[in-house]
Amino acid sequence: MDKRLAMDLQEMQQELIAIRHDIHANPELSMQEARTSKLVARKLKQYEFIVTEEVGTLESVPPGDRSIALRADMDTLKLVEESNVSYTSTVPEVMHAYGHDGHTAMLLDAAKYLSNHRNSFFGTVYFIFQPGEEKLEGAVAMMNDQLFERFPFDVIDGLHNSSGKPIGTFNIRFSPMMAASDRFLVTFQGTDGHGGAYSHLAMDATVLQAQFILALQTIVSRNISPNNAAVISVGAIQGGSFNSLNVMPSEIRIGGITRSFTKLVRDIIERRIKELVHGFAQSFGCTVQIEYNRLGCSTC
Protein backbone atom coordinates (compact mmCIF):
# COMPACT_ATOMS: atom_id res chain seq x y z
CA MET A 1 0.00 0.00 0.00
CA ASP A 2 1.16 3.53 -0.77
CA LYS A 3 2.67 5.10 2.37
CA ARG A 4 0.69 8.31 2.01
CA LEU A 5 -2.54 6.34 1.63
CA ALA A 6 -1.68 4.21 4.65
CA MET A 7 -1.01 7.31 6.74
CA ASP A 8 -4.27 8.95 5.66
CA LEU A 9 -6.27 5.85 6.49
CA GLN A 10 -4.55 5.56 9.85
CA GLU A 11 -5.57 9.11 10.68
CA MET A 12 -9.19 8.26 9.81
CA GLN A 13 -9.25 5.00 11.75
CA GLN A 14 -10.69 6.29 15.03
CA GLU A 15 -13.62 7.96 13.28
CA LEU A 16 -14.25 4.77 11.30
CA ILE A 17 -14.29 2.70 14.49
CA ALA A 18 -16.60 5.17 16.23
CA ILE A 19 -19.07 5.09 13.33
CA ARG A 20 -19.09 1.31 13.25
CA HIS A 21 -19.60 1.08 17.03
CA ASP A 22 -22.46 3.59 16.87
CA ILE A 23 -24.24 1.68 14.11
CA HIS A 24 -23.64 -1.63 15.88
CA ALA A 25 -25.14 -0.32 19.11
CA ASN A 26 -28.22 0.93 17.25
CA PRO A 27 -29.14 -1.80 14.74
CA GLU A 28 -32.21 -1.46 12.54
CA LEU A 29 -34.25 -4.08 10.72
CA SER A 30 -34.83 -4.16 6.97
CA MET A 31 -36.62 -1.11 5.58
CA GLN A 32 -36.54 0.52 9.03
CA GLU A 33 -33.07 2.08 8.79
CA ALA A 34 -34.17 5.64 9.61
CA ARG A 35 -31.46 6.39 12.17
CA THR A 36 -28.68 4.81 10.12
CA SER A 37 -29.79 6.69 7.00
CA LYS A 38 -29.71 9.98 8.89
CA LEU A 39 -26.22 9.21 10.18
CA VAL A 40 -25.03 8.39 6.66
CA ALA A 41 -26.57 11.54 5.18
CA ARG A 42 -25.08 13.69 7.92
CA LYS A 43 -21.61 12.29 7.34
CA LEU A 44 -21.83 12.60 3.56
CA LYS A 45 -22.88 16.23 3.83
CA GLN A 46 -20.01 16.77 6.24
CA TYR A 47 -17.71 15.33 3.56
CA GLU A 48 -19.19 17.80 1.02
CA PHE A 49 -21.22 15.31 -0.98
CA ILE A 50 -24.39 15.96 -2.92
CA VAL A 51 -26.84 13.76 -1.01
CA THR A 52 -30.04 12.33 -2.50
CA GLU A 53 -31.81 9.89 -0.18
CA GLU A 54 -29.44 6.90 0.21
CA VAL A 55 -27.01 8.04 -2.51
CA GLY A 56 -24.08 10.41 -2.18
CA THR A 57 -22.45 11.91 -5.29
CA LEU A 58 -18.83 13.05 -5.50
CA GLU A 59 -17.16 14.59 -8.55
CA SER A 60 -13.43 14.78 -9.13
CA VAL A 61 -11.50 18.01 -9.56
CA PRO A 62 -11.24 18.49 -12.48
CA PRO A 63 -14.41 16.57 -13.47
CA GLY A 64 -14.30 13.51 -15.72
CA ASP A 65 -16.71 11.58 -17.93
CA ARG A 66 -16.43 8.15 -16.26
CA SER A 67 -18.54 7.06 -13.32
CA ILE A 68 -18.52 4.26 -10.75
CA ALA A 69 -20.87 3.31 -7.91
CA LEU A 70 -19.82 1.80 -4.59
CA ARG A 71 -22.48 0.06 -2.53
CA ALA A 72 -22.97 -1.05 1.09
CA ASP A 73 -25.97 -2.41 3.00
CA MET A 74 -27.26 -1.02 6.30
CA ASP A 75 -29.83 -3.41 7.81
CA THR A 76 -29.76 -6.46 10.04
CA LEU A 77 -31.98 -9.28 11.32
CA LYS A 78 -33.58 -10.32 14.60
CA LEU A 79 -30.91 -11.84 16.83
CA VAL A 80 -30.06 -11.60 20.51
CA GLU A 81 -26.57 -10.24 21.12
CA GLU A 82 -24.67 -12.11 23.82
CA SER A 83 -21.45 -10.14 24.04
CA ASN A 84 -19.82 -7.94 26.63
CA VAL A 85 -18.41 -5.32 24.27
CA SER A 86 -18.95 -1.68 25.17
CA TYR A 87 -20.93 -1.09 21.98
CA THR A 88 -23.33 -4.03 22.35
CA SER A 89 -26.79 -3.68 20.81
CA THR A 90 -29.19 -1.45 22.70
CA VAL A 91 -32.18 -2.79 20.75
CA PRO A 92 -33.81 -5.93 22.20
CA GLU A 93 -33.49 -8.99 19.95
CA VAL A 94 -31.83 -7.07 17.12
CA MET A 95 -28.10 -7.32 16.40
CA HIS A 96 -25.60 -6.52 13.67
CA ALA A 97 -24.24 -10.05 13.32
CA TYR A 98 -23.80 -9.99 9.54
CA GLY A 99 -21.32 -7.17 9.22
CA HIS A 100 -23.51 -4.49 7.71
CA ASP A 101 -22.39 -2.05 10.40
CA GLY A 102 -18.86 -2.58 9.12
CA HIS A 103 -19.93 -2.28 5.49
CA THR A 104 -21.60 1.08 6.13
CA ALA A 105 -18.66 2.39 8.15
CA MET A 106 -16.14 1.29 5.52
CA LEU A 107 -18.03 2.97 2.71
CA LEU A 108 -18.26 6.19 4.71
CA ASP A 109 -14.52 5.94 5.31
CA ALA A 110 -13.92 5.59 1.57
CA ALA A 111 -16.24 8.54 0.96
CA LYS A 112 -14.25 10.73 3.32
CA TYR A 113 -10.92 9.70 1.79
CA LEU A 114 -12.01 10.42 -1.79
CA SER A 115 -13.59 13.69 -0.74
CA ASN A 116 -10.23 14.74 0.67
CA HIS A 117 -8.45 13.62 -2.53
CA ARG A 118 -10.69 14.72 -5.38
CA ASN A 119 -7.67 15.13 -7.63
CA SER A 120 -6.72 11.45 -7.20
CA PHE A 121 -9.42 10.18 -9.58
CA PHE A 122 -11.10 11.41 -12.76
CA GLY A 123 -14.89 11.20 -12.92
CA THR A 124 -17.88 10.74 -10.63
CA VAL A 125 -18.30 8.32 -7.73
CA TYR A 126 -21.74 7.42 -6.41
CA PHE A 127 -21.93 6.02 -2.88
CA ILE A 128 -25.04 3.85 -2.49
CA PHE A 129 -26.24 2.87 0.97
CA GLN A 130 -28.85 0.17 0.46
CA PRO A 131 -31.69 -0.52 2.90
CA GLY A 132 -33.53 -3.80 3.18
CA GLU A 133 -30.85 -6.20 1.93
CA GLU A 134 -31.72 -9.04 4.28
CA LYS A 135 -35.37 -9.21 3.20
CA LEU A 136 -34.53 -8.59 -0.45
CA GLU A 137 -36.75 -5.51 -0.63
CA GLY A 138 -34.28 -2.65 -0.69
CA ALA A 139 -32.59 -3.23 -4.04
CA VAL A 140 -35.92 -3.68 -5.81
CA ALA A 141 -37.29 -0.53 -4.20
CA MET A 142 -34.25 1.50 -5.27
CA MET A 143 -34.43 0.20 -8.84
CA ASN A 144 -38.16 0.94 -8.97
CA ASP A 145 -37.24 4.44 -7.83
CA GLN A 146 -35.14 4.81 -11.00
CA LEU A 147 -31.76 4.42 -9.30
CA PHE A 148 -29.95 3.51 -12.53
CA GLU A 149 -31.62 6.27 -14.51
CA ARG A 150 -30.97 8.99 -11.95
CA PHE A 151 -27.38 7.91 -11.31
CA PRO A 152 -26.01 6.55 -14.61
CA PHE A 153 -22.78 4.83 -13.54
CA ASP A 154 -20.57 2.66 -15.73
CA VAL A 155 -20.02 -0.06 -13.12
CA ILE A 156 -21.02 -0.82 -9.55
CA ASP A 157 -18.83 -2.53 -6.95
CA GLY A 158 -19.54 -3.93 -3.52
CA LEU A 159 -17.95 -6.18 -0.95
CA HIS A 160 -18.82 -8.39 2.00
CA ASN A 161 -16.60 -8.93 4.98
CA SER A 162 -15.61 -12.49 5.82
CA SER A 163 -14.41 -13.78 9.16
CA GLY A 164 -11.44 -16.09 9.09
CA LYS A 165 -9.66 -14.29 6.27
CA PRO A 166 -6.26 -12.69 6.98
CA ILE A 167 -6.52 -9.00 7.85
CA GLY A 168 -5.69 -6.77 4.92
CA THR A 169 -6.54 -9.30 2.22
CA PHE A 170 -9.29 -9.39 -0.40
CA ASN A 171 -10.79 -12.34 -2.24
CA ILE A 172 -11.85 -11.79 -5.84
CA ARG A 173 -12.72 -14.03 -8.78
CA PHE A 174 -13.19 -13.48 -12.49
CA SER A 175 -16.62 -15.10 -12.58
CA PRO A 176 -19.75 -14.62 -10.47
CA MET A 177 -18.77 -14.01 -6.85
CA MET A 178 -22.22 -14.03 -5.26
CA ALA A 179 -24.60 -16.87 -6.04
CA ALA A 180 -28.16 -16.66 -7.31
CA SER A 181 -30.67 -17.17 -4.51
CA ASP A 182 -33.96 -19.08 -4.66
CA ARG A 183 -36.46 -20.08 -1.99
CA PHE A 184 -38.90 -22.97 -1.78
CA LEU A 185 -41.78 -23.83 0.55
CA VAL A 186 -43.37 -27.27 0.27
CA THR A 187 -46.61 -28.30 2.00
CA PHE A 188 -47.59 -32.00 2.04
CA GLN A 189 -51.20 -32.69 3.07
CA GLY A 190 -52.81 -36.04 3.81
CA THR A 191 -54.63 -37.96 6.52
CA ASP A 192 -53.77 -37.67 10.19
CA GLY A 193 -54.23 -40.52 12.64
CA HIS A 194 -53.33 -42.12 15.92
CA GLY A 195 -49.67 -43.07 16.08
CA GLY A 196 -50.42 -46.33 17.87
CA ALA A 197 -53.30 -48.56 16.91
CA TYR A 198 -54.29 -46.75 13.70
CA SER A 199 -50.97 -45.54 12.33
CA HIS A 200 -51.51 -47.62 9.20
CA LEU A 201 -54.46 -45.39 8.23
CA ALA A 202 -52.52 -42.14 8.30
CA MET A 203 -50.05 -40.46 6.00
CA ASP A 204 -46.68 -41.02 7.66
CA ALA A 205 -45.82 -37.35 7.50
CA THR A 206 -42.70 -37.41 9.64
CA VAL A 207 -41.12 -40.23 7.63
CA LEU A 208 -42.04 -38.40 4.41
CA GLN A 209 -40.45 -35.25 5.80
CA ALA A 210 -37.22 -37.01 6.75
CA GLN A 211 -36.87 -38.88 3.47
CA PHE A 212 -37.67 -35.81 1.39
CA ILE A 213 -35.03 -33.70 3.14
CA LEU A 214 -32.43 -36.42 2.59
CA ALA A 215 -33.45 -36.77 -1.06
CA LEU A 216 -32.95 -33.04 -1.62
CA GLN A 217 -29.26 -33.45 -0.83
CA THR A 218 -28.81 -35.95 -3.65
CA ILE A 219 -29.62 -33.26 -6.21
CA VAL A 220 -26.27 -31.53 -5.76
CA SER A 221 -24.30 -34.75 -5.34
CA ARG A 222 -25.88 -36.62 -8.26
CA ASN A 223 -27.41 -34.10 -10.68
CA ILE A 224 -24.86 -31.29 -10.60
CA SER A 225 -21.41 -31.64 -12.14
CA PRO A 226 -18.51 -31.63 -9.64
CA ASN A 227 -17.14 -28.71 -11.68
CA ASN A 228 -20.07 -26.53 -10.57
CA ALA A 229 -20.96 -25.24 -7.12
CA ALA A 230 -24.46 -25.40 -5.67
CA VAL A 231 -26.19 -25.56 -2.30
CA ILE A 232 -29.61 -26.73 -1.16
CA SER A 233 -30.39 -26.09 2.50
CA VAL A 234 -33.55 -26.72 4.50
CA GLY A 235 -34.00 -23.97 7.06
CA ALA A 236 -37.45 -24.71 8.46
CA ILE A 237 -39.66 -27.75 9.09
CA GLN A 238 -43.08 -27.75 10.68
CA GLY A 239 -45.55 -30.48 11.55
CA GLY A 240 -47.27 -32.08 14.50
CA SER A 241 -47.41 -30.92 18.10
CA PHE A 242 -45.32 -31.66 21.16
CA ASN A 243 -48.58 -31.55 23.11
CA SER A 244 -49.96 -34.50 21.11
CA LEU A 245 -47.07 -36.87 20.50
CA ASN A 246 -49.44 -39.75 19.79
CA VAL A 247 -51.04 -37.95 16.84
CA MET A 248 -49.57 -38.27 13.37
CA PRO A 249 -49.98 -34.89 11.61
CA SER A 250 -51.99 -34.41 8.46
CA GLU A 251 -49.76 -31.61 7.19
CA ILE A 252 -46.06 -30.86 7.14
CA ARG A 253 -44.20 -27.88 5.76
CA ILE A 254 -40.59 -27.74 4.59
CA GLY A 255 -38.83 -24.55 3.55
CA GLY A 256 -35.35 -23.79 2.36
CA ILE A 257 -33.04 -22.01 -0.03
CA THR A 258 -30.81 -22.82 -2.97
CA ARG A 259 -27.65 -21.18 -4.27
CA SER A 260 -26.14 -21.49 -7.74
CA PHE A 261 -23.91 -19.55 -10.11
CA THR A 262 -25.18 -20.48 -13.58
CA LYS A 263 -28.59 -20.58 -15.25
CA LEU A 264 -28.08 -24.23 -16.20
CA VAL A 265 -27.48 -25.33 -12.62
CA ARG A 266 -30.31 -23.13 -11.38
CA ASP A 267 -32.73 -24.72 -13.85
CA ILE A 268 -31.64 -28.25 -12.91
CA ILE A 269 -32.13 -27.60 -9.19
CA GLU A 270 -35.61 -26.15 -9.64
CA ARG A 271 -36.68 -28.97 -11.96
CA ARG A 272 -35.38 -31.72 -9.68
CA ILE A 273 -36.91 -30.24 -6.52
CA LYS A 274 -40.30 -30.10 -8.21
CA GLU A 275 -39.90 -33.67 -9.51
CA LEU A 276 -39.05 -34.93 -6.03
CA VAL A 277 -41.95 -33.01 -4.51
CA HIS A 278 -44.54 -34.60 -6.78
CA GLY A 279 -42.86 -38.01 -6.64
CA PHE A 280 -42.98 -38.11 -2.85
CA ALA A 281 -46.59 -36.94 -2.82
CA GLN A 282 -47.55 -39.76 -5.15
CA SER A 283 -45.62 -42.43 -3.27
CA PHE A 284 -47.05 -41.41 0.12
CA GLY A 285 -50.58 -40.90 -1.21
CA CYS A 286 -50.99 -37.24 -0.33
CA THR A 287 -51.39 -33.89 -2.01
CA VAL A 288 -48.72 -31.22 -2.21
CA GLN A 289 -48.29 -27.52 -2.86
CA ILE A 290 -44.97 -25.90 -3.70
CA GLU A 291 -43.97 -22.26 -3.84
CA TYR A 292 -40.70 -21.75 -5.67
CA ASN A 293 -39.40 -18.22 -6.03
CA ARG A 294 -36.32 -17.08 -7.89
CA LEU A 295 -34.82 -14.13 -6.08
CA GLY A 296 -31.52 -12.44 -6.89
CA CYS A 297 -29.32 -13.50 -9.81
CA SER A 298 -25.63 -14.31 -9.47
CA THR A 299 -23.37 -11.26 -9.56
CA CYS A 300 -19.70 -10.68 -10.30
Residues with a catalytic annotation lie at: 75, 133
Helix (H, G, I), strand (E, B) or coil at 203: coil
DSSP state of 164: T
Q: Write the DSSP symbol of residue 214.
A: H
Q: What Rg, from alpha-carbon coordinates, does the chain have?
A: 24
Residue 299's Cα: distance from chain center in Å? 13
Q: Is it true that the peptide bond before 63 is cis, omega within 30 degrees of 0?
A: no
Give Cβ neighbours of residue 158 (< 8 Å, ≥ 6 apart). 70, 71, 72
Burial of 259-269, coded b for 16+ CB within 10 Å and e otherwise, reads bbbbeebbebb
Question: Between β-strands 251-260 and 180-189, what pairing exists: parallel, antiparallel or unpaired?
Answer: antiparallel
